[in-house]
Structure 1
Amino acid sequence: MKVSKLYIYPIKSLRPTPLTTAAISPEGIKYDRRYMLIKVEPGKDEAEPTLKNMHIPHFPEMGLFQTAVEFPKDNDDTGKIIVTYNPPSTQEMDDPRPCEMKQIEIPIRIRLTQVKTMKEMKVVMHQSSTTGYVMDDEYDDWFSECFGFPVILAYLGKCSREVLGTLTPENRNNVPW
């Protein structure tokens, strides 16, 4: 087998970053899917808002964001994800979203001492839950302005989740349980 291209998605469902080399960790390719975006949907009749994971099939505007990575050079360096928002060149007059390209930098590695001070949140992906951490308001505000609705940037870091799934059809009947 020959690997011809390799990508990571530092923020789940945004456009990927190409790699020339990759380090593998127990969680998979290092720095892959460290963050995810969550839409805040207002509650009805003063109910608490609900949170909805954002995936590109349901939020195609996620394709307007390009990611690049500057990896940490040493233990003191957090590295960074550079997210570039590239809105369409033609935009409706009543669309409140920015119409010019803009960027934000997000640390790719959060120190454990920082994580301990962050607000925890339950994140469920494909019926499997894990812990996420709410990033600072500056990131939520930036993404919310670009999308035109409230968004939370959640840091997943090294939190793992159980991967639930089914076996391929040809193996489903051969399972001993």
Structure 2
Amino acid sequence: MSRPLVIQDLYVYPIKSLAGIRLSEAKVEERGFQLDRRWMLVDESGKFISQRTFPLMVLLQVKIGEDSLTVYHQSNPDELIRIPYDYEGEENLSVKVWDDEMRASLVDKEFDNWFSSMLGMKVRLVKMPDTTERKVDPKYAVNGESVSFADGMPYLLIGQESLADLNSRLDSPVSMNRFRPNIVFSGGDSFVEDSLKKIQIGEVDFQVIKPCSRCVMVTVEQETGAKGAEPLKTLATYRKVGNKILFGQNMVALSTGVIRVGDELRPQ
């Protein structure tokens, strides 16, 4: 009898492209885990910035508090800012994530100045208001779902065995955090997630939608911000379909609730 699939890690990324946070349980909402990618840094034109072009963003660590996020540079934890969850500035602006344009709230100039100083470039911190509906591409949506500031889909699922398979082909193993998943499970064969369609975790149902196409962001070492050729170079030798390199599966939630590390992942 095959070993059950069990949730090993849950991750949330409150500010897009900054360091992620491992959780023991997470609240599943339509547009992603609660707090996931609800904030974002944009340039002066309103376009999102990410580790793809600014890899040192990963050195900004984020902690979840009762009523606020705490952000600090990993080299200087004492120089920090706190961003209250319920705080939104009165000024709105149009922001862009890839081809999607949407309204976002500027949070406060104090935060703009802090992030600009940390990153050495002029940026602004924005928050996605509840009133902003950024729809999942209709080609992939099941029930007309909305998504946060994530690249395109609310959830990313990866099996630990898939990473083990990749690492067996690399000279230096890489950590799962390179791939910025929301849900990591153990058990099963490598890339078993490719064959999943509908799954249940705890009492929550998800629909697996499509493979996740990977970019240079996975070449950023999440502990240092250093970039290299791997693991994209090796993934391209056996995970390339057409012109896309695939690793992990994008999902939408079909229901809401709380899921926990240790929950069983049950294919439906």
TM-score, length of structure 2 as denominator length? 0.47
Q: Hey, what's the Cα distance between the residues in 1 that align with 2:32 and 2:133?
A: 10
Equivalent residues of 2:46, 2:95 under 8 A apart: no
Match runs of 1:3-152 below 5 Å: 3-40=7-44, 50-71=45-66, 79-87=67-75, 100-101=76-77, 102-110=79-87, 115=88, 118-152=90-124
Residue matched to 2:137: 164
Secondary structure, counterpart of 1:52 in structure 2 = coil
Judge conservation of contact 2:91–2:105 (CA < 8 Å) in 1. yes
- Tell me, yes or no, if the aligned pair for 2:60 and 2:73 is still in contact at 8 Å: yes
Sequence identity percentage: 28
Question: Aligned letter for 2:123?
Answer: V
Structure 1 gap segments, 5+ residues each: 41-49, 72-78, 88-99, 170-177
Question: What is the deviation of 1:157?
Answer: 3.5
Q: Report deviation, 1:166.
A: 6.5
Conserved in 2, the CA contact under 8 Å of 1:10 and 1:34?
Answer: yes
2:46 partner SS: strand
Amino acid at match of 1:61: L
Give the deviation of 1:164 after TM superposition: 3.0
CA, structure 1 residues 165+147, in 2 after alignment: closer, same or farther (shift >3 Å)?
Answer: farther
Q: Kindly indicate whether the alpha-carbon contact (under 8 Å) linking 1:35 and 1:157 is maintained by their aligned counterparts in 2.
A: no
The CA deviation string for residues 87-131 of structure 1, in whole angstroms up to 9 with x for no partner, is: 4xxxxxxxxxxxx44211111233xxxx4x611111121211221
Distance 2:129 2:64 in 1: 15
8 Å Cα contact 2:41-2:49 kept in structure 1: yes
Distance 1:29 1:138, change over 3 A: same
Aligned letter for 2:137?
L
Tell me whether 140-149 or 157-166 shows the greater mean CA deviation: 157-166
CA distance in 2 between partners of 1:123 and 1:129 (Å):
6
Provide the TM-score with structure 1 as the length reference.
Answer: 0.69
The number of residue pairs the alignment matches comes to 137
Q: Is the 8 A contact 2:47 2:96 kept in 1?
A: no
Question: 1:65-92 CA deviation, whole Å, 9 max, x = no partner?
Answer: 1111013xxxxxxx111111124xxxxx
Q: Provide the C-alpha distance between the structure 2 equivalents of 1:143 and 1:62, rounded to a whole number of angstroms.
A: 10
Q: In 2, Cα distance between the equivalents of 1:138 and 1:163? A: 32
Structure 2 unaligned segments of length 5 or more: list them. 141-209, 211-240, 242-268
Higher strand share: 2
What is the SS of the residue equivalent to 1:138?
A: helix
1:155 aligns with one of 127, 135, 151: 127
Q: Which range moves more in the overlay, 146-155 or 156-165? A: 156-165
Residue-by-residue CA offset, 1:12-47 (whole Å, 9 max, x unaligned): 11001111111122322111111000122xxxxxxx
Instruction: Give the Cα–Cα distance (whole angstroms) in 1 for the partners of residues 62 and 73 of structure 2.
Output: 9
Structure with the bigger RCO (C-alpha within 8 Å, sep 6+) is 2
CA distance in 2 between partners of 1:140 and 1:53 (Å): 14
| Contact 2:42–2:95 (8 Å) recurs in 1 | no
Runs of 4+ with >6 A deviation: none
